[in-house]
Structures are given as structure tokens and as C-alpha cells.
Amino acid sequence: MSTERPEGLSQQPANIARQPPDDRRVSEPAGDRKASNDAAHHEAIVLVRGESIREQEPKSTPKEKSPQEEVSEANVKMQSRLPVLDDDAEVGVQKEQTVIRDGKADITFTGKLLASAAPPSAPKGQWQEYRAYETDAGKHVFSKVTRNVLAEQQDTHEAKIYDPVAHSVPSQLLRSARDLARAHPFTWADAAVDFFGYDPLAKALYRKLGSQFEKHIS
């Protein structure tokens, strides 16, 4: 009886090892596999010289909201009424007046408000108010107030007093004769121009004060 085996039934080579079943993969619960897949979306593996380095993907941080700026309710109301000012009805009324000045003593006197001016609107939330007063003693007081609707931006107050005695003829005699010949006496209108200038708001104030602020030529 022949012991030879058919050629097609040759044994498997001894050096080929059977691959053992992947027990870890089989036994891994479905939930763990999902967690592993989710973690793969947030990590990137980089090979550097044979070592694996896990880089965490940057997470987007929400933008911080800027705090809302507080506004002054009183100034918002004044802004809504521009160019009308609270004391417009007091123009020409003789009364006790108080003009605020920053960094100096406030000015108090008995007199009247000659005129005031404010812009027609303040789209950026800031505007100026110009006023001119006359005291019972014939002096003039000029006031410039800068207002802002933001509560953290405080209003600013400037003021100037014009005293005709300080600009009388004896005081001008101290100037040279040449200067006196070509210059007119310094008036309260000149003092107003020195203080307010010639911006559009100042010109609106001058139109209310009178024709002495106009330049006449022959």
C-alpha cells in the first residue's frame, strides 16, 4: 500500500503562523469604539523620528463681548432737544446767574443771558453750547460747555469775564501811539471773538448778539 500523498494535499509551510484572532477588537464594546472614533477627530498623530506625537487640535474660544457703555440720561434728553437749550426761555431775563468753570471758582452775578447757541444735532453723542451774559455792572461773561452722552465722559466748562474797566482808554495809553492809531478800542465783542473764535457755532451766536460782530467795509 502506497503511503505517498497527492501533490494537491501538501502540508502548509511550517514558517507560516496562523494569525490569532483580534480578541481586543472583538471584545471592544460599541460605545468604546465610538469614543475612540470621536477622539480621532480631535487629535492628529505626527511621526517624528519614529516617535508618535499626538497634537491636540486647537479649540475655538468664544469672543468676549465688550461691556455696554453707560449713558447719561440727562444728557440724552438734552441731545434729543437740540438745538433748543433748557435756558433759551431765560434770554433777556434779569436774575441771579451761576456760570461753572473747571479748575476755577464758579462765577456768580446778577445779570441776563444775552444769547445762546447749540448745534442742530449731535450724531456722535458730543456737542458744545455757547452762551454770552451781561452783568448789571456792565461786564460780560462768556461760557463754553462741552457735553457727552456717555456717563464716563464728564461735561467740561470754560468761562471768561470781560471787564471794560481793564480795557479803558487809560490802560490803552500804555500802548504805543502807532498801535492806537490803527486799532480801535477793545470791546466786549472783541473779547467774545477771542474766546469763541469763528467756528460755525460761534457765528450762529454772533448773529443772535447783533450786528457789532459783522465786518462792515465801505
- What does 81-109 look like in DSSP terms, one character per residue? TTT--TTGGGBT--EEEEE--TTSPPEEE
Of the pLDDT bands very low, low, confident and very high (cuts 50, 70, 90), residue 216 is: confident
Of the pLDDT bands very low, low, confident and very high (cuts 50, 70, 90), residue 185 is: confident
- How far does Cα 41 stand from its chain's mean position? 44
Average pLDDT of the segment spanning 190-209: 97
Dihedral Cα 209, 79, 122, 148, nearest 10 deg: 100
- Indicate the domain borders of the chain: 73-213
Comparison of pLDDT for 2 and 208, the residue scoring more = 208
Give the count of alpha carbons within 13 A of 192, CB side only.
Answer: 29
Q: For the segment 122-164, what is each residue's pLDDT rounded down to a tens digit?
A: 999 999 999 999 999 999 999 999 999 999 999 999 999 999 9
What amino acid occupies position 142?
F
Question: Against a cut of 0.85, is the pTM above it?
Answer: no
Average pLDDT of the segment spanning 9-33: 50
Q: For the segment 96-122, what is each residue's pLDDT rounded down to a tens digit?
A: 999 999 999 999 999 999 999 999 999
The neighbour count for residue 75, using CB atoms within 10 Å, is 20
